[in-house]
Amino acid sequence: MSDTDDTRLDALLTAAAHRHPGRPALTAEGRTWTYAELDDAVEVLAGRLAAVGVAPGDRVGVHAPKGTAAVLGIYAGLRAGAVVAPLDVADPPVRTAHMVRGAGISVLLTSDRAPAASRRAAAEALTPGSPAATEGALDHGLHWIRTLPTTDRPAPLPAPTDHGGYVLFTSGSTGRPKGVLLSHANVAHFALWAAEELGLTEADRVGSQAALTFDLTTFDLFSTAAAGACAVLMPDVLRAFPRDVVGWLTEQRITAFYAVPSLYQGMLEQGGIEGHFPASLRVAAFAGEPFAPRPLERYLGLLGEVPFYNLYGPTETNVCTYSRVPADWTADQEITIGRAVDGDTVDVFDEDGRPTDGQGEILVAGATVFQGYLQDGTLVDPTRTVVFRDGVPRRAYATGDIGRITGDGRIFLRGRGDSQVKRRGHRIDLLDVESAVLGLPQVTAAAVVAKDGPHRGEIWAYVRTAASAEDVLAGLRGVLPLRMLPDRVVTTDSLPVNARGKVDRRALAISTVTA
């Protein structure tokens, strides 16, 4: 048991409203909300949700562009006891519908800014032949759309998520996004740990740049609330423009910032951050993918006394290891993802399932480890009991990441043992993309690979089809989010096979043939 076992995420907000009622809690879309205002609005909205039939344990999707309405929707859902799943309005409706059905989402909360996209996703999610989704208006520009009749509730989730939780979707190998089910305590443990480790106080202004579907924003929302600080939401349209991000960090006097290395590197290479370093910044963190060594060294020079944290962990464990990058670190040294956060146990295991000092798979146990995947309406728990180095058996999640651990508990990453890749900070399962390709008409065979050699870092789809590469790409655009589209589609009459008669992905990965 840890001290966060019964902490509720929405209670962090209420506690801050008691301690600092008049302090700023949220700045978004040109308005600042105090903690008292935000907590009151959440309380009223939660009551409205209950009145339209949202009961504890129900799954509620927040399908709204990042903004005040989305934040209110998340907190109100949590306050009503729902399991809240932030969803991305830019995802194709077909994919959103998979998530709605897979997680058993019965209500979507949408905002004035994207009702059409939400209606399309809801229509797509409904069983064919069932009547159109009912909907209604709430306060603050929020609307609800019912995607499952109240008489059609999915089976209740086991404790503790029968009284609420959080769902973040990740790319899965089956072609269906997997819903990572987290308890309040899972998220709260990370939020409180990070607030303390990064030294957040009520004077901080936390810059929130990531999508709400991304686990980085659990820091932006909940660590911020735990500290009574102010969450400042960056307008979504700025994310693709590193120069705007640098300007925004300065104008908004951001003091704490958590982002993927791709964005930090963009700010260095195109954003001019070296000439215009945000003066208020006092702590920064990155996660999601390894930081390229040379840009990292340049950042450390820029940051000076400002601590720069490397946080590691798949969505299933949120952050499970951390390291404050030494200010004098240089690009010729190996970078560590650090040691386990308090409350988690992280170790490396060999193929026989024993802790090893050599290379092996990284396993995580402890307070941040998720409850299981929501898939096809049911909860699937992939964790297993594993005996750790200290002889203690623990419920552990195998990350699929390969690494090595030193005698003092620092872990070094060594890649992956499966089909999962990171591209620009996004986790993508190549088999997820491949099954989308195979689902297109006119496609008879396909292999999706991460390229090596001159196109390293790109994802290419090799497709046996009568259709053109453009047709394949257009088809994929209808079923996959932009971030998951292949960088290139190569149509081919045949796919190479290896000695065992299977598609030779290794050969494709290094092939330079483009047609």
Where along the sequence are the contacts to another protein (CB under 8 A)?
89-90, 92, 235, 237-241, 243-244, 247, 266, 270-272, 424, 473-478, 482-483, 485
Closest distance between another protein and the C-beta of residue 141, in Å?
16
Cβ of residue 122: shortest distance to another protein, in angstroms?
19
Q: Give the shortest CB-192-to-another protein separation in angstroms.
A: 33
Phi, psi angle pair for 127, to nearest 5°: -60, 135
Shortest CB 117 distance to another protein, Å: 9
Please report how close the Cβ of residue 475 comes to another protein at its closest, in angstroms: 6
Least distance CB 298 / another protein (angstroms): 16
Closer CB to another protein, 416 or 483, in the complex: 483
- Closer Cβ to another protein, 166 or 286, answer by number: 286
Q: Are strands 393-405 and 360-366 parallel, antiparallel or unpaired?
A: antiparallel
Helix or strand run (H / E) with residue 195: helix 184-197
CA distance 218 to 296: 24
Residue with smaller CB distance to another protein, 9 or 245: 245
Among positive and negative, which fits the CA dihedral 267, 269, 270, 275?
positive
Q: CA 385, CA 379: separation in Å to the nearest integer?
A: 18
Closest CA to 140 of 16, 26, 224, 18: 26
Q: Where are the alpha helices (DSSP H) in 198-292?
A: 217-218, 224-227, 242-251, 261-269
Closest CA to 460 of 509, 496, 494: 509
Minimum CB distance to another protein smaller for 92 or for 141: 92
Q: How far is the CB of 244 from another protein (least distance, A)?
A: 5
Name the residue nearer to another protein (CB basis): 154 or 439. Answer: 439
Helix (H, G, I), strand (E, B) or coil at 39: helix
Q: How far is the CB of 70 from another protein (least distance, A)?
A: 15
In the complex, what is the shortest distance from the CB of residue 81 to another protein, in angstroms, rounded to a whole number?
Answer: 32
Query: The tokens 């300007």 sit on which residue?
Result: 247
In the complex with another protein, the residue whose CB is nearer, 269 or 376, is 269
Spatial separation of the C-alpha atoms in residues 72 and 443, rounded to whole Å: 43
Q: How many whole angstroms from its chain centre is CA 318?
A: 9
What is the token pair recorded at 363? 């396993």
348/472 with CB nearer another protein:
472
Residue 90 in tokens: 């830019």
Helix (H, G, I), strand (E, B) or coil at 492: coil
CA angle 261, 265, 268 (to 5 degrees): 145
Both tokens of 400, joined, read 């699929």
**Minimum separation from the CB atom of position 483 to another protein (A):** 7
Query: In angstroms, what is the minimal distance from the CB of 218 to another protein?
Result: 23
Closest CA to 62 of 80, 40, 47, 44: 80
Is there a contact between 223 and 194 (Cβ–Cβ < 8 Å)? yes
> Encoding tokens for residue 31?
């308005």
Q: Which is nearer to another protein, 269 or 418 (CB)?
A: 269
User: How far is CA 391 from its chain centroid?
Assistant: 33
What is the chain's percent helix, strand, coil content, to nearest 5? Answer: 30, 30, 40
**Nearer Cβ to another protein (477/506):** 477
CB-CB contact of 309 with 325 (8 Å): yes
- CB of residue 92 vs another protein: minimum separation in angstroms? 7
Which two tokens mark 401? 């990441």
Which residue's CB is nearer to another protein, number 89 or number 341?
89
Helix (H, G, I), strand (E, B) or coil at 179: strand
Please tell me the total number of residues recorded for the chain in this structure. 515
Residue among 507, 488, 495, 483 nearest 95 (CA): 483
Q: Which is nearer to another protein, 50 or 292 (CB)?
A: 292
**How open is the CA angle 311-313-315, to the nearest 5 degrees?**
125
Query: Closest approach of Cβ 479 to another protein, in Å?
Result: 9
**Cα separations (Å) of 336 from 242, 309, 404?**
26, 11, 10
Nearer to another protein, 44 or 485 (CB): 485
Q: Give dist(CA 243, CA 250) in Å, integer.
A: 11
Residue closer to another protein by CB (options 456, 502) is 456
